[in-house]
Amino acid sequence: MKKKNFLYFIILMTILIYLFIETKTAMAAVKEGGLLFFNSVLPSLFPFLVLSNMFFKLDYAKYMATIFSPFMSKYFKLSGKGAYPLITSMISGYPIGSKTVSEMYLNNQLSYNEANKLISICSTPGPIFVIGTVATAFLNLPKAGLIILPSIYMALFIYARLFFKRENHTLLSSNKQTYKKHYNIGKIFAESVSNSMDTLINVLGYIMFFSLVINLMDTTLLTNLDILPFKLNMFLSNFIKGIMEMTIGIKGLSELNFISAPIMIGVITFLLSFGGLCANMQCISFISNTDLSIGKYLLSKLSLGLISGGISYLLSFIFIRDTTLTFNIGMKIPFMFNLTSSLIFVTVYTFTLITLITLIKKEI
């Protein structure tokens, strides 16, 4: 524990010293994070947060549990109760799925085992962000979103089939007496908006802070990458930024004009599915209020990132290999397939995925 505390002290002191020395640069980085939130995150997240809260407070999760019980049992080895947080996550994006699972678990609506499983798969990017921001605005290729999004959802199914053990779940049936409850819709709406704003303020804080950290890394750690060839340097620099905060990293990657379409889309899908440390810290802030396993959650995010990245790589290789990508900086590149780089990519990918599968099997 002492070593950990010392490490945290060093990191915090480094950031503090940076703030004093590079005040103007630090302020610009925080401002950039704020603009990123208001331009990309807030419009796509706020309405879904409000609606998700209202669904939860109006007990519609019970209806969804009844309707989707057979589907969840057959394909995800879960009870129907898992349908609500899973669908909410797929529609709304980070960090709503983790928030919903944590709240349902704390309200005794989910068992420990089921909540631990759901926390692994109920953490996905929203479709508006993937198709509207990433595919259309960043890549200028809307059909890339039709590859990225299904790849992320297919990875959830594959992960569940690989790692979830089937338990005996009773198929839920409709019980009309359960739903005879009077609701004050005005009060529920007001509470939902208030709750959503609290969540959004937290998200804003995370994004601004990680924007500051990335700016610090840019002027310190990432300068060490200058010894590498220019193209590798640019790729690794933006990829590391994406590991920290996915939107900043993905935007930087989309501006590189020397990466083949399948690798570009595969790497972006990995970052979207993994979520970056910023999005994962938001999810962990909700998980930490429970006794659910954060270690399993992080392992699952890495595995889902690799699985979805592999799927999107294959799909884009098949469907858009002959497509010319027009990036948001106005450059055009044809599809380029380099056998050596692809073999290295596939080898590293396979080794990492096998290692993660072994680790997860041991945990589960």
Alpha-carbon distance values, 241 to 3, 85, 97, 268 (Å): 26, 29, 24, 12
The pLDDT tens digits along the chain (364 residues) read 567 677 777 878 887 887 888 788 888 888 988 988 888 778 877 888 888 788 878 877 777 777 888 888 787 888 788 888 888 888 888 888 898 899 889 988 888 989 999 999 998 998 888 988 888 888 888 889 999 999 999 999 999 888 887 666 554 444 444 444 567 888 889 988 998 898 889 889 988 988 888 888 887 777 767 677 777 888 888 999 999 999 889 988 988 887 888 889 999 999 999 999 999 998 998 999 999 989 889 989 999 999 999 999 899 888 876 554 444 433 333 334 445 555 555 555 565 666 666 665 555 5
Structural domain for 278, as ranges: 33-165+185-363
Residue 37 within a domain? yes
The confidence score (pLDDT) of residue 177 equals: 44
The confidence score (pLDDT) of residue 128 equals: 83
Residue 311 within a domain? yes
Count of the separate structural domains present in the chain: 1
Residue 12 within a domain? no
The confidence score (pLDDT) of residue 290 equals: 92
The confidence score (pLDDT) of residue 24 equals: 85
Residue 9 within a domain? no
Residue 20 within a domain? no
- DSSP codes of every residue in 56-77: HHTTHHHHHHHHHHHHHHHHSS
Using alpha carbons only, how large is the chain's radius of gyration in Å?
21
The confidence score (pLDDT) of residue 175 equals: 47
Contact status, residue 90 vs residue 130, Cβ threshold 8 Å: no
The helix (run of H) or strand (run of E) holding residue 326 is: strand 325-326
Alpha-carbon distance values, 161 to 9, 164, 352 (Å): 42, 6, 19
CA gap 308, 253 in Å, rounded: 18
CB-side exposure of 173: number of CA atoms within 13 Å? 0
The confidence score (pLDDT) of residue 271 equals: 95
Residue 239 within a domain? yes
Contact status, residue 114 vs residue 79, Cβ threshold 8 Å: yes
Residue 3 within a domain? no
Contact status, residue 268 vs residue 315, Cβ threshold 8 Å: no
Residue 266 within a domain? yes
